[in-house]
Structure 1
Amino acid sequence: MKRVRYARCQCHGDFRCDAPHQSVTMTTEFADSSWRALAHRILTRSDMLRGTAETTLERFVETGRIMKFADANLLSSYGQPIETLLVVLSGALEIGVSTLAGKHFVIAYLGAGLIYGLIPIIDGGGSLYDARAHGEAVVLGIPRDVVLEALRQDPGLAHAFLLLFCKRSRVLYGGASANALAPFRVRVARALASLLPVHGITRGETVTLALKLSQEEFGALLGASRQAVNRELKALESAGVVSLAYSTIQVLDCDALGKIAEFDDGVVRDVSIRP
């Protein structure tokens, strides 16, 4: 049975609606101390929050809501206000956009320790994308007023967020120029390589993508059809670079994948492959 991942708006049945409504979603809030302990470990070990005061991180854990979302459930909708900064504790969030015609483009899959919603939390505007659970996901939702107060009080947090903005901007602008110039096989290799540092599991010389993706979902990362993605993945499999199974990709030769991803378009790139 085909899984329906992009739920329609509850009030009109459209994929995108301008009405001021909240999308219906199934979520469970936890009070389990073990999840709060996990949240504290993730925040204190996060490179993105390096330099943040311990008291700030403790405040985030104490005031945050720990919530579990079922697969494909909507956490935030494009253009709608965001009142909580989302930190992934377990599973993954799919960040993307949909059109009225039902076409879908995925920006990223955020794994444990990654943050979503920082821009709308700071500027008060609507969500830049749709955020959905990819598989079951558990997140920490930190209230907006807590985040804003922490930014005023903790220079270390403000500096960490500035560095995060810089890093994401480099990825965004670098990716846009690279993909405009690169052949499709190179784009496929780069998309796969970009997922491995967060979602890859290393066993010996191979890396397995723990994130379960259909070829249609992988295509949404590239704005391409399932058929086009299938051709390139099959070519990589025939070359001994990857091994394909149902919704699972295993990288057999990281060096070869890296060489394909570093296609010479006149720009020097640092392509990280291994987790």
Structure 2
Amino acid sequence: MTFSDSVPSWPDDLPVAATAVTDGGLINRALRWNELFGPWPEEVRARLAAQARLRRYGRRTQVLAHDRQARELLCVVSGCLEVGCVDAEGRKFVHGLLGPGHIAPLVRLLEDVPLPYDYHAHEASVIVHLSCEVVLEVLGSQPSLWREVARLALQRQRYSLATLHERALGGIPQRLVVTLLRLAAFYGNSEPEGLALRVRLSQHDLAAMLGVSRQTINREMGELIAQGVLEATYNRIVIKDLERLQVMAGSP
């Protein structure tokens, strides 16, 4: 499950953990390959990079813990950013997983009170923090760049509407299949045994994505495993029959 439909191909030679690459170098390259800032002029990205901060987070660490309502944009350099919330009864809901090249929370460019979402490093992650005020200053000086903001916002709206449609009309088995296919599109890695997801996912994670119980996910995953469509071990999922999963996603 992700927010956006497309993201620039992240270069294989970007050594985010290498000491030879400075934080400034990582920030510049991260903005160049970002889904929002990639098409922006180089001099504009340099202006943003000069005001940006690079932070490294351990797995499950909360991002923006110092201020949940901070008006900052988060650009994922490496790892995976989890966007979610907890309801009044303590149940967790995961709205999306964002990998390298993605940006959130776009709505914090608005001046009203931010939506009550939390951000955690789903995996050990490197994140670029950008002040919304700095981004808005750039947009004010170059209004044509709002076009890229609008494009990305519309993609996010389409995703949200599709999710609402699935929740209202789709059964749990089909919703699980669609979620797995979305994850495979962004995190799939071809291996001899099938298409392995490069992000660690537990049954609790999948349950939080679909808004169901872990027991329900356990049952539905068991069905897919029994049919030979999936192979699942602790925090690891391999899609063994992608074509069949795609057919199942199109079933009513």
Using the size of structure 2 for normalisation, the TM-score is 0.84
**Counterpart residue type for residue 226 of structure 1:** R
Question: Could you give the per-residue CA deviations for residues 131-163 of structure 1, whole angstroms, max 9, x where no partner exists?
Answer: 111121110001222111111123453111100
SS at match of 2:244: helix
Structure 2 distance, partners of 1:185, 1:216, is 16
Q: CA RMSD in A?
A: 2.2
- Conserved 8 A contact 1:218-1:229: yes
Q: Find out whether 1:105 has 2:93 as its counterpart.
A: yes
- Conserved 8 A contact 1:49-1:157: no
1:194, CA displacement in angstroms?
A: 1.4
Identity %: 28
In structure 2, list runs of 5 or more residues that go unmatched.
Answer: 1-18
Question: Could you give the per-residue CA deviations for residues 157-208 of structure 1, whole angstroms, max 9, x where no partner exists?
Answer: 3111100000010111122112311121101011111112222222368211
SS at match of 2:79: strand
Residue of structure 1 equivalent to 2:198: 210
Structure 2 distance, partners of 1:204, 1:36, is 38
SS at match of 2:124: strand
1:213, CA displacement in angstroms?
A: 1.3
Residue of structure 2 equivalent to 1:250: 238
Show the 5 A alignment for 1:168-247.
168-203=156-191, 206-247=194-235
Using the size of structure 1 for normalisation, the TM-score is 0.78
**Counterpart residue type for residue 253 of structure 1:** D
Question: Could you give the per-residue CA deviations for residues 80-138 of structure 1, whole angstroms, max 9, x where no partner exists?
Answer: 42232110111111111102332111101111111112212332422441111112111
Residue of structure 1 equivalent to 2:26: 38
**Counterpart residue type for residue 81 of structure 2:** L
Structure 2 distance, partners of 1:210, 1:119, is 28
Structure 2 residue corresponding to 1:142, chosen from 126, 130, 141: 130
Structure 1 distance, partners of 2:28, 2:249, is 36
Q: Which has the higher contact order (CA 8 A, sep 6+)?
A: 2
Structure 2 distance, partners of 1:144, 1:209, is 32
1:47, CA displacement in angstroms?
A: 4.0
**Counterpart residue type for residue 221 of structure 2:** L
Q: CA 1:179–1:83 in 2, change beyond 3 Å: closer, same or farther?
A: closer
In structure 1, list runs of 5 or more residues that go unmatched.
Answer: 1-30, 265-275
**Counterpart residue type for residue 113 of structure 1:** G
- Conserved 8 A contact 1:93-1:111: yes
Structure 2 distance, partners of 1:245, 1:151, is 46
